[in-house]
Structure 1
């Protein structure tokens, strides 16, 4: 199946494509974004090709303002060196850029995220005797602690959204917004985008539903959440991808459907 055939077979968008386009809207033209691969990478490149041409992407591996000519499969993929303004050691990328406060946006995911935006990617269950031991922080804790704002993309499932995470790998609003400030942390989680809804954080640092995806009900979102979820007074419908965005994703950004699940 060719790229054009793939685009023609399904003119509608998928859940992943909706998350990509909605995440892209969170990015501003002058943002510097610390990004990995996968869906966040697609969101950044979509933003760069639509409303944010001056978006600057810094990859964890140390490439600054890359313009890869192919889809990177890992943060160490050599294509990330294409058109890069500079290539620095990972240590310098985290120190000179992230810890120095030069990163506007960081993308995060994890096995669990709770009502205050704390993320767990360390263990499921008790730390000393876990049901599952996960990969750990990597650079996630540094990103959550130092980026001016963080965006989270995750499937919406009850096991992923408990009231409290089993282990705080990456801090959100901890004991509330004041608790985060007391720890001397920058920024904090701003938006959580799932395959059901878009959620933001109130003045106390608790997550609430801002928009529902087309066809998704409040009951469905609540059933997939481990605490009594609050909804905005004026919950609206999440904006959907337009034809040009779908074309860019399917024909240019991820024509083989490596991260979107389409393609051959």
Structure 2
């Protein structure tokens, strides 16, 4: 087995790290690489993580049914902060406001997307991270055209009760990892995937992210993690189709 780590595999590691130390919470990954990351986290450093089959069953990292999750119980976990979702974003701004609804003016949009869906409930009621497989100024924008997922500035404006369970742990893209660990809760570059430069990130971002001195690289996977990713969790290599090296 080659030990050379691909960009997609660094993204898997970065997504898996979103669930580190989460304890017994329900992971809701959306996308191939977040799903591989959640299953990797469950098999390694987050054994208490709960996974579902996307319907009503709790499953193990190999798909074995472990329990039943009725919808009422699912809702209780959502509204009590016991779920950590990793969603996609058609647009996201410096405060973490996310748009998956439309591009352009809401009354006459240039493009209709998924719709708001459950994004407001997710972001106000449980931790939400984001996964962006193609980092570009069209996604990382100065201002989203419509707020679907709620960012830190809008939560602050809504008052203390709105932020009780609101938390945006990280944004992972094919270029790096971002968080909001700044005094004004704006997006900060937390790590670069190996081979990516700060200049590339700035050129691909429609606003100026906070860039600290000495940005580290996303951590290397261990040999055990690489074996799990390649031979056990994603032997068909679907991750490489989502992010090409």
Bin for the TM-score computed over the shorter chain: 0.7 to 0.9
1:214 is the counterpart of 2:194: yes
Report the count of equivalent residues. 237
Which residue does the alignment assign to 1:87? 69
Q: What is the CA distance between 1:180 and its match in structure 2?
A: 5.4
Which residue does the alignment assign to 1:250? 230
| Structure 2 residues without counterparts, runs of 5 or longer | none
1:180 and 1:94 mapped to 2: Cα distance?
26
1:135 and 1:170 mapped to 2: Cα distance?
13
2:108 and 2:3 mapped to 1: Cα distance?
48
1:32 is the counterpart of 2:12: no
In the TM superposition, structure 1's runs of 4+ consecutive aligned residues that sit over 4 Å from their partners are 180-183
- Are the equivalent residues in 2 in contact too, given 1:211–1:238 (CA < 8 A)? yes
Which residue does the alignment assign to 2:78? 98
Which residue does the alignment assign to 2:56? 62
SS at match of 1:250: helix
TM-score (norm 1): 0.81
2:157 and 2:226 mapped to 1: Cα distance?
41
- Are the equivalent residues in 1 in contact too, given 2:28–2:51 (CA < 8 A)? yes
Q: What is the CA distance between 1:191 and its match in structure 2?
A: 1.0
SS at match of 1:199: strand
| Structure 1 residues without counterparts, runs of 5 or longer | 1-7, 71-81
Alignment of 1:1-264 (within 5 A): 8=1, 11-29=3-21, 30-37=23-30, 38-58=32-52, 61-64=55-58, 66-67=59-60, 69-70=62-63, 82-89=64-71, 92-103=72-83, 105-147=84-126, 149-154=127-132, 155-175=134-154, 178-179=156-157, 181-182=159-160, 184-185=162-163, 186-201=165-180, 202-261=182-241
Q: What is the CA distance between 1:68 and its match in structure 2?
A: 5.6
Q: Deviations over 1:170-215 (max 9, x none)?
A: 102134x623544613222121111112111112110011222212
The verdict on how the C-alpha distance between 1:141 and 1:159 changes in structure 2, with shifts beyond 3 A counting, is same
The verdict on how the C-alpha distance between 1:11 and 1:195 changes in structure 2, with shifts beyond 3 A counting, is same
CA RMSD, aligned part only?
2.2
2:240 and 2:73 mapped to 1: Cα distance?
28
2:176 and 2:76 mapped to 1: Cα distance?
35
